[in-house]
Amino acid sequence: MPLKEIDPLLKRIGLYEHRKKPAAKLSQGQTQRLILARAILHKPKVLFLDEPTSGLDPSTALEVHKMLMESKAEGMSIFLTTHNMEEATKLCDHVALLNEGVIVEYGSPEEICLKYNKMKKYKVQLTDGTKHLLDQGAETAEKIASWMAGGQIETLHSCEPTLETVFLEVTGRKLQ
């Protein structure tokens, strides 16, 4: 790669001020960003990553996520292996959930979560601090519409499962 492309990349990943420091002297987060920078420097069409944010603090993980999303937006295909279902939901267009090496579910994170949405409930918190868990139906729709018209809703959330919850369900695993 031309040397002129290295400094802008080091600036992008926040390592420019450490450019003369030996890699062995970098922190774990800095090392992880350096590894990722080396992987994307030559702008591959396909990138394989294994747990790219494992052991990183939230702000460094967020920076890695930004880099991956930018690379993805530039047309790079990224295969990501992770145990972090929140990360998979955030970064992946498609996921394959594996159990003992076998794909047990495949699709977009949203599709998978909606497929396993059996509760069909809504959590509502009103401006007076009261909380309600409501079943889907006409009566709930009327209540919510009334509260909305009165400006009483502080928060409203659907209760579909997370990708982590789905993973535990389809693999039959339990938290230990």
Closest by CA to 156, choosing from 128, 121, 108, is 121
Q: What is the Cα–Cα distance from 48 to 50, expressed in whole angstroms?
A: 7
Mean pLDDT over residues 163-176, rounded? 83
Closest by CA to 87, choosing from 114, 106, 69, 101, is 69
* Confidence label for 101 from pLDDT (cuts 50, 70 and 90): very high
Please check the confidence at residue 14 and state whether its pLDDT lies above 70: yes
Model confidence pLDDT, tens digit, residues 19-41: 899 999 998 888 888 998 899 88
Contact call for residues 71 and 99 (beta carbons, < 8 A): no
Whole-model pTM over 0.85: no
Q: What is the Cα–Cα distance from 22 to 24, expressed in whole angstroms?
A: 5
Strand-pair partners of 46: 77
Question: Which positions ≥6 away from 157 have C-beta within 8 Å?
Answer: 122, 123, 124
Per mean pLDDT, which range of 1-15, 44-58, 76-90 is the poorest? 1-15
Start-end of H helices in 74-122: 85-91, 109-115
Model confidence pLDDT, tens digit, residues 48-75: 999 988 878 888 888 889 889 999 999 9
* Confidence label for 174 from pLDDT (cuts 50, 70 and 90): low
pLDDT of residue 175: 52
